[in-house]
């Protein structure tokens, strides 16, 4: 064993040994590979950032869509507002058209009734359209 470590290389081994030109080429190849890997790392980091942003958006949509009032305050509040407003307008329209002796003075003009009914339609269509298409359909594929 000791003889193998101390033996001198043969001429054939010296001929097969890399020369400085080959070492320079290998060094250049290594630098190019390192640059390519750095580019790939940068691209992957951008992809990771994009995926994190999409996940945050999906989490926020899930929070808004959830069926519980404490988790989805905006959608539920919009729905409650629409229901209360529509019921109030319906009640006023009914009472204005009804002829009760104790409500003989409650008569709304035609222009007021048109405004109330029109605003109800806008409220219903606008809020339902905004909530359903904006949150549920428009933001999801």
**CA dihedral angle for residue 105, residue 106, residue 112, residue 116, rounded to 10 degrees:** 180
Nearest-CA neighbor of 85 among 131, 59, 40, 118?
A: 118
Position 47 scores a pLDDT of: 94
80-87's contacts with Cβ under 8 Å and 24+ in sequence apart are 81/123, 81/127, 82/123, 82/124, 82/127, 82/128, 85/120, 85/123, 86/120, 86/123, 86/124
pLDDT in tens, 28-70: 777 888 889 999 999 999 999 999 999 998 888 777 666 544 5
Q: At what angle do helices 73-97 and 110-128 cross, to 10 degrees?
A: 160
Q: What is the pLDDT of residue 69?
A: 42
At residue 72, the pLDDT reads 55
Q: Among residues of the chain, what percentage have pLDDT more than 90?
A: 12
Contacts of 3 (CB under 8 A, 6+ apart): none
Domains of the chain, by residue range, sit at 1-65, 71-141
Say what the pLDDT of residue 45 is: 94
**102, 106, 126 from 99: Cα distances, Å:** 9, 9, 33
Return the exposure string of 47-62: e unless at least 16 CB atoms fall within 10 Å of the residue's CB, then b: eeeeeeeeeeeeeeee
User: Rounded to the nearest 5°, which phi and psi values hold at 80?
Assistant: -65, -45
Q: Measured between alpha carbons, how far is 117 from 90 in angstroms, rounded to an integer?
A: 8
Of the pLDDT bands very low, low, confident and very high (cuts 50, 70, 90), residue 3 is low
């Amino acid at each position: 064993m000791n003889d193998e470590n101390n033996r001198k290389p043969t001429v054939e081994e010296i001929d097969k040994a890399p020369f400085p030109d080959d070492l320079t080429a290998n060094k250049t190849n290594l630098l190019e590979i390192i640059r390519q890997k750095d580019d790939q790392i940068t691209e992957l980091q951008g992809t990771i950032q994009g995926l994190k942003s999409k996940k945050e958006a999906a989490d926020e949509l899930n929070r808004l869509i959830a069926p519980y009032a404490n988790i989805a305050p905006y959608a539920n509040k919009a729905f409650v507002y629409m229901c209360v407003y529509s019921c109030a307008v319906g009640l006023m329209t009914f009472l204005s058209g009804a002829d009760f002796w104790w409500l003989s003075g409650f008569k709304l003009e035609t222009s007021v009734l048109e405004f109330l009914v029109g605003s109800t339609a806008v409220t219903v269509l606008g809020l339902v359209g905004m909530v359903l298409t904006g949150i549920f359909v428009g933001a999801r594929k």
